[in-house]
Every structure is written in structure tokens, then in C-alpha cells.
Amino acid sequence: MSKGFLLVLSGPSGSGKGTVSQALMERRNDIIFSTSITTRQPRPNEVDGENYFFKTKEEFEKMVENDELLEYAYVHTNYYGTPKEFVFNEIEKGEIVLLEIDVQGALQIKKKYKKAVFIFLLPPTMEELKKRIVNRGTETEADINTRFSNAFKELDFVGEYDYFVVNDRVEQAVKDIENIIAAERLRVKRHDDIKKNLIEEGEIR
């Protein structure tokens, strides 16, 4: 009776979404990571088709026009979006699809797809958040200030999510998300055919 669902993970830049997502994927084989599309330039060691699908602005806008995206947003001077067909095909197969996206994209999905599970990843402190952004060494000083300023704005939307997880230690953050997954797997609303399945199994025996 196991059904797939959409797991949306958001959080401000520097909260550790990528690190937590990677650790979660390494621990489990029942989660499919949905690679997002973006118009920003690749960071060092990022691979097209693995970390992101890197597109030009014109290519991205064509996909929007053709309704090929589940959600999209304009963040930090670039577009980000999620391929629609891939997500729903995997859910239909019974997979958990993990989306690591920003708040704008998450709110779009919440309006369109009520069955998704929304988790907001928080830093232990805002001071630690800024330290993580600086230590990445991939942004200019202006970019760092923009991301830190946007982080405060994004915190206003925590109440729109189903759960929050504090990423102080990656291992504990992953365990907290695994507990959420376990609970969602057993949510009655995901199994409206429980009685029917049990009756059919009984008749077979």
C-alpha cells in the first residue's frame, strides 16, 4: 500500500539544503532527487544534469511558455524551475520525490499540489548562516549581503510549511527528516484504499 509523494525542502541560502539532501540520499534508496533547472552559471564542480539543468534565459522562458514546469521563480537575479513530467511520473511509481527549492517555488507548489510535504530547514543561528555563506567562497560581497538579507525575509514563511528542521548537525537533521518520512508513509489520507486492499487480500486467502 506504499505510495509515493512529493517532499519539498526549503530554507535560506546557507542553511545547508544541499548538504542535508545529499546525506539523506546516501542513507536511503527510496528517494528520487528531482534536478532543478536554472539560468545561473555553474559553480565549481557542478555538473549539468546532476546538480542542475543549466539553461539560457531564452530556453527557460520557452519551457514556461510550453507549461513544462511544476513551479518556477526568479531568485537572486536568476530563474529556477522544476520539470513537471519527471516529478509526477516518479510519484506514480511510488517513489518519494525530493525537491530542494526556494520559498517562492514551494508556495507555488502548495497552491497547485496540496498532497506535497513541506519542510523548512533552519540554521541554528543567523550568525552561523552568514558564516556558512561566506565560507563557501563562491559569492561576491554584494551577493553575500543579498542572500543574508533575503534569509530574514524567507523566515516569514516558515508558518506555511508542515515541518521545520534545525540543521545544527547534519546527521541529526537527516534523522529528523527520516522521522517525517516515516510518519507521512503512514498518513491515512495517502491510503484511501486501505479497507479495499485488506478486503481483497482476505478474499484471496
Average pLDDT over residues 196-202: 64
Q: How confident is the model at residue 48 (pLDDT cuts 50, 70, 90)?
A: very high
- How far is the C-alpha of 79 from the C-alpha of 37, rounded, in Å? 8
- Of 55-64, 125-134, 154-163, 179-188, the poorest mean pLDDT is in 125-134
Instruction: Report pLDDT digits (tens) over 98-112.
Output: 999 888 889 989 988
Average pLDDT over residues 171-188: 92
* Res 147 pLDDT > 60: yes
Higher-confidence residue: 175 or 128? 175
Map out the domains of the chain as residue ranges.
Answer: 5-34+96-204
Looking at residue 1, its pLDDT comes to: 44
Looking at residue 96, its pLDDT comes to: 94
Higher-confidence residue: 99 or 195? 99
- Of 83-92, 103-112, 142-151, the poorest mean pLDDT is in 142-151
Placement of cell 565560507 in the chain: 135
Q: How confident is the model at residue 193 (pLDDT cuts 50, 70, 90)?
A: low
**Percent of the chain clearing pLDDT 90 (strictly above):** 47
Strands in 36-38's sheet, in edge-to-edge order, are 52-54, 36-38, 78-83, 69-75
Domain 5-34+96-204, CATH number (from 1.10.3720.10, 3.40.190.10, 3.10.28.10, 3.40.50.300): 3.40.50.300
Across the chain, what does the average pLDDT equal?
Answer: 87
The Cβ of residue 48 has, within 10 Å, a number of other Cβ atoms equal to 11
- How far is the C-alpha of 38 from the C-alpha of 73, rounded, in Å? 10
For 84-147, strand residue ranges (E) read 96-100, 117-122
The dihedral through the CA atoms of 138, 69, 61, 145 has a sign that is: negative
